[in-house]
Amino acid sequence: MQIFDSLIIILAFVVVVGALTFTVDDLFIDFIAFIRRLKPRIVNADFVAEMNSVPEKQIAIIIANWKEAEVIAPMIRGNLRGLQYQNYTFFLGVYPNDIPTWEAARKLEDIYPHKVSVIVNSKPGPTSKGQMLNEMARQILASEKALGKTFDLFLMQDSEDVLHPYSLSLMNYYSSQADFVQIPVFSFDVPAKSLVGGVYIDEFSESHTKDLLVRESLGAAIPSAGVGTLIGRTLMKELQAYQEGDFLKEDTLTEDYHLGMMTKELGFKSKFACVQYEKENGSLEFIATREYFPSEIQASMRQKSRWTLGIAFQGLENLSWRGNFVDRYFMWRDRRGPLNSILIVLSTILLALFVGLNAADHLPEILKGPAFQALLFLNLFNMSLRLVQRMRAVARTNARIHIALVPVRWLLANYVNIGATIKAYRQYQQSQKTGERPAWIKTEHRLPEHFGRDIEVNTP
pLDDT, one tens digit for every residue, the chain (460 residues)? 588 888 889 999 999 999 999 999 999 999 999 999 999 999 999 999 999 999 999 999 999 999 999 999 999 999 999 999 999 999 999 999 999 999 999 999 999 999 999 999 999 989 999 999 999 999 999 999 888 899 999 999 999 999 999 999 999 999 999 999 999 999 999 999 999 999 999 999 999 999 999 999 999 999 999 999 999 999 999 999 999 999 999 988 899 999 999 999 999 999 999 999 999 898 999 999 999 999 999 999 999 999 999 999 999 999 999 999 999 999 999 999 999 999 999 999 998 988 888 888 888 889 889 999 999 999 999 999 999 999 999 999 999 999 999 999 999 999 999 999 999 999 999 888 887 776 666 777 889 988 987 655 444 3
Assigned architecture for domain 40-295:
Alpha-Beta Complex (3.90)
Q: How far apart are CA 126 and CA 65, in angstroms?
A: 9
Domain extents in the chain: 40-295
Q: How far apart are CA 133 and CA 6, in angstroms?
A: 55
Identify the helix (H) or strand (E) that includes residue 186. strand 185-187
Neighbours of 451 (CB within 10 A): 21
Q: How far apart are CA 257 and CA 119, in angstroms?
A: 24
User: Which of left, alpha, beta for 301 (phi over 0: left; psi -120 to 50: alpha)?
Assistant: alpha
What torsion do the CA atoms of 379, 380, 386, 388 make, to the nearest 10 degrees?
A: -160
Q: How far apart are CA 330 and CA 222, in angstroms?
A: 10
- Phi and psi at residue 91, to the nearest 5°: -105, 120
Angle between helices 255-265 and 233-242 (to 10 degrees): 100
* Beta-bridge partner residues of 63: 92, 157
Predicted structure pTM score: 0.94
Structural contact between residues 194 and 297, judged by C-beta atoms closer than 8 angstroms: no
User: Considering all CA atoms of the chain, what is the largest pairwise distance in Å, rounded to the nearest integer?
Assistant: 82
Task: Give the contacts of 230 (CB within 8 A, at least 6 positions apart).
Answer: 59, 153, 154, 155, 156, 171, 175, 180, 181, 182, 183
Q: How far apart are CA 95 and CA 30, in angstroms?
A: 44
Give all strands of the β-sheet with 275-278 in edge-to-edge order.
41-43, 275-278, 284-286
